Structure 1
Amino acid sequence: MAARTQVGTAPPAPEGTAAAGAAAAGARTGARQQRAGRAGALAPGAAARTAAAAALLLGPGVLVLALALGGGVEGARHGALGDGGAAVRWGLPLAQLALRATSAATAGLLLCAVALLPNPDAALSPAAAAVLRRCRPWALAWAASAAAASVLTAATVAGTTVPGALAALAAPGTWQAWWAVEPVRALLECTALAGVVALGVRAVRSHTAGWALLLAAGLALLPQALTGHVVHAQAPRLAAAALAVHVLGAATWTGGLLALVLLRRAPGPHLAHALPRYSRVALVCFSAVVLSGAVSAAVSLGSAGALTSTSWGRLVLLKTAAVLVLAAAGAAHRRWSVPQVLAGSRGAFARLGTAELLLMVVAVALAVALGRTPSP
């Protein structure tokens, strides 16, 4: 009986081997806990979720109001080829708003990971890698909103409903004709590039690869400059160049601030390191947005009187007011919140940054409404 019992019993492991196995398991558990801690630190808290809910209401609300006041939806109703219905008239600007918001968030998180946070080695730092992982859902949402905008744009061009546009896009032999429609082609290119960014985020391990992905995101932003009314401006090439600078500057400015607001809960000196860098980048972006916006307005308006006598001009004034308030908020950051973050206090930055992001949502909604409102 004793012999049979010993046959089914494994010999005890040497004491050194058991200790080494326990140490390795502890190291793996510690690494998982560190990764989970960094991801949890970047996860939005209760205040951030409240601000996100406010943004989801504020952005579409301002957009709908601006479209109603500016006549952007009524202009789409009387298209040359017909009307695709309310779903197309209202769905397209809402999809463009989602496109602007998700593209800015993606670009800002990429910028934070590769340029604002310290990466002393060739590989991305753990903090940068954690920020990069937060980028993928935004990039997927960017690709989805660009795809939706392309279908709704095709429906607007063809004067048909969304099912009709989907059938037209899927019909054999029609891709060449659709590819010749510049707004549709631009949005399809944006969809493909945003998809590349979403796939590439999981493969990036080095600092150089991160910069390459940030460049791809910048290229994906450029097709947005080919949508709207730039082709009808008095100087379409100048208007397109100005709008490209405007879109890149606004996306970097807005998305970078979102990344830092998410980073504020991360332990360690990461926010104190990134915030001064972002402050310099934001100043450059603000200058680019103001100058390119002035060029775009001058090309489209034609005269100063159109600022007050047309709906498009009045929307320009509203957006200008929002940008000036954002400039004041940026000055407050440089004077108060940045020194406080460097001193170890993050509360002022979190409050001012969240309020600034909500105002940026208003400015982006006004920009989308401008793109849908007939220019003078």
Structure 2
Amino acid sequence: MAVPAAVLTGAAAAPMIDLGDPGPVVRWGLPLVRIVLDVAAATTVGLLLVVTLVGVGERRSAVPRVAARYACLSGTIWALAAGVVTVLGFADVAGVRPFSSGFAGQLPAEVWRFEPLRVEAISAVGAALVAIGAAVTRSRRGLRLLGFFAVVAVLPLAWGGHSAESTNHAVAVGSLAFHLAGVVLWVGGLLALVALRPVIGPAMGTAVQRFSSVAGCCFAVVAISGGLNAWVRIGHLSGLTSPYGLLVLGKSAALVLLGVAGWRQRRAVIPRLRARPEALRPFTRLATAETIVMGAAIGMAAVLARSAPPAPTHHAEPPSTTLLLTVALGAVIGAVAVAVRAGMPRRLHQRHAKPPADGRDHSTPARVHAGSPPPAL
């Protein structure tokens, strides 16, 4: 999906300004490696999220161990892809071919000087720390904290690209940060459920039902933040007819399809899965279709990151302390809400399942004697 989109927008074309041609490896490789980065980051976050969605039980005891092992692998891919994006991004900015004469000597200093490259490097370090943490952590609490850190490691990417150069810098960067958080939780959670379904076993219905609530919140966050970010970068309705605007419309159509699929999942698939946990085929079929649509949306997003919006932009100022605190607070609130919502059904079940201390039956009588007052409501 990224290749035809790159041709449509001109993201794979040779540079228009005379900075030198970085070559086809950079022009075509950068959006493709970006897709690998996005999918690996989302998968890592989703695998750590599943630990929260699945309760404690004998059959489910293997979930944290398997999820951590997979998260270590996907986190490693995420870190490597972020490193490759940093190298190719420098070649693209400098207009030189990778590993040409003097390339390696200029790379360390120049990466820290350009903000888009700097945030990629920071994200790569964060991804490496997540992979290391997943390799040594097996407790549920530790993996939940690691999942929160993985979401935080994604957020620096909001300060790179055209959003950071927008005339409404704070709105563009803030909305993109929430957009990224919603996407990785939503896409990653679905991918993780599909990958771990043999391990989750009979608890699959409960896990999918809890994830459905999380996905609904992510859908709202992605729709609102994505619409706000697109409006800031396009600026006017006529911009929707540009190649950039057509990709925005394509992403919007994908979002609508995913919303319909989520509604179908909640109304038809989840009740069937709760009744028969072994009947995974309807869930797997619908989840596969959703991941295909998500993959197309991620491909269009990778091309949008390399395409210039029609709205005029200027160089960005450093992010303000207020903006950083706002994004951090939103991430904390979102993580707490997800954890509380996912753990609530299990706590309520334990509370009501606990027998009374005196051993007597305190349930409401089945009959009410004649003349007795009605029970209080």
TM-score (norm 1): 0.78
Distance 1:339 1:139 in 2: 33
Distance 1:189 1:80, change over 3 A: farther
What is aligned with 1:328? 260
In structure 2, list runs of 5 or more residues that go unmatched: 311-377
2:43 is aligned with what amino acid? A
CA contact (8 A) 1:254 1:357 kept: yes
1:370 is aligned with what amino acid? L
Distance 2:36 2:282 in 1: 28
SS at match of 2:99: helix
What is aligned with 2:274? 342
Distance 1:79 1:276 in 2: 52
- Listed one character per residue, the Cα deviations across residues 160-208 of structure 1 (whole Å, up to 9, x for unaligned) are 011138x53445xx63443121111111111111111111112112222
Distance 1:71 1:157 in 2: 16
Distance 1:128 1:231 in 2: 37
Match for 1:252 among 167, 171, 185?
185
CA contact (8 A) 1:222 1:248 kept: yes
Kindly name which structure, 1 or 2, has the bigger radius of gyration based on alpha carbons.
1
2:6 is aligned with what amino acid? L
Distance 1:361 1:83 in 2: 29
What is aligned with 2:54? 117
Task: Count matched residues.
Answer: 307
SS at match of 2:201: coil
Match for 2:63 among 127, 132, 147?
127
What is aligned with 2:333? none
CA contact (8 A) 1:117 1:128 kept: no
CA contact (8 A) 2:63 2:200 kept: no
What is aligned with 1:375? 309
Distance 1:362 1:259 in 2: 18
Distance 1:108 1:79, change over 3 A: farther
Between 347-356 and 220-229, the greater mean CA deviation after superposition: 220-229
Distance 1:120 1:349 in 2: 23
CA contact (8 A) 1:221 1:247 kept: yes
2:97 is aligned with what amino acid? T
CA contact (8 A) 1:329 1:356 kept: yes
CA contact (8 A) 1:96 1:149 kept: yes
What is aligned with 2:322? none
SS at match of 1:240: helix
Distance 1:211 1:267 in 2: 17
What is aligned with 2:8? 69
1:168 is aligned with what amino acid? F
What is aligned with 2:222? 289
TM-aligned CA deviation for residue 271 of structure 1 = 1.0
What is aligned with 1:198? 131
What is aligned with 1:20? none
TM-aligned CA deviation for residue 108 of structure 1 = 0.5
Matches within 5 A, 1:210-359: 210-266=143-199, 268-308=201-241, 310-344=242-276, 345-359=279-293
- Listed one character per residue, the Cα deviations across residues 299-331 of structure 1 (whole Å, up to 9, x for unaligned) are 0111112112x1111111111001100100000
Please identify runs of 4+ aligned residues in structure 1 that moved more than 4 A. none
Distance 2:3 2:161 in 1: 17
RMSD: 1.8
Between 62-71 and 261-270, the greater mean CA deviation after superposition: 261-270
CA contact (8 A) 2:69 2:135 kept: yes
TM-aligned CA deviation for residue 111 of structure 1 = 0.6
Higher helix share: 1
- Listed one character per residue, the Cα deviations across residues 255-275 of structure 1 (whole Å, up to 9, x for unaligned) are 100111122233632212211
Distance 2:140 2:197 in 1: 22
2:80 is aligned with what amino acid? A
Distance 1:181 1:267, change over 3 A: closer
Distance 1:325 1:132 in 2: 31
- Listed one character per residue, the Cα deviations across residues 49-108 of structure 1 (whole Å, up to 9, x for unaligned) are xxxxxxxxxxxxx1010110111122x522452221111111111111111111011110
